[in-house]
Amino acid sequence: MSDLTKLSNTELAEALNRLLVPFQRSLKVDEQLVRDGIIASLDKSTMGAVALLREAASRLQAPAVAEVEVKPLKWDKTWGGGDEDIPSWRGRNPLGLSVGFSFAGRLFNGRRIDHHDEAPEEAVKAAMLETQADYERRIRSALRTGGSE
């Protein structure tokens, strides 16, 4: 028998779910017998035990990585480039780390932008969404689920 204190929540949930299998099989048979009028009722202690095991297993289930919500970046305007002359945007996370983008070398309407307000709003929003999505992919790739490595 393994030491339960060394099991992860996911492992405990899996163990509880394995314990439920015989109860669930028995309950299906008992429920059918009740419906058929062969027996009068189900054992309340069995029903209570199954309910407790189901609740415990559901509370221990770790959320899938895709279900984890990554906090959105908080955006501010900044300047980049060697001479601090390129309008850039930086998204900061709660740890104080940041990711960002600029339109360095990109032309809009045939000219380079020199100030933040010259960048097309749609291009800025699209870049923010793309940067946020990339940030979230990176965060999720660093998380581990159940038995994954």
- Are 75 and 88 spatial neighbours (Cβ–Cβ below 8 Å)? no
61-70 residue pLDDT tens:
555 555 678 8
Verify that 81 and 135 share a domain, yes or no.
Answer: yes
Please indicate, yes or no, if residue 52 is contained in any of the structural domains: yes
Q: Which of 15, 34, 62 is the last residue of a domain?
A: 62
Low-confidence ranges of the chain (pLDDT < 50): 1, 39-40
Task: Give the domain range for residue 86.
Answer: 74-141
Provide φ and ψ at 89, rounded to 5°: -130, 140
Element (H, E) at 107: strand 107-108
What was the pLDDT predicted at 116?
Answer: 92
What was the pLDDT predicted at 58?
Answer: 64
What was the pLDDT predicted at 127?
Answer: 93
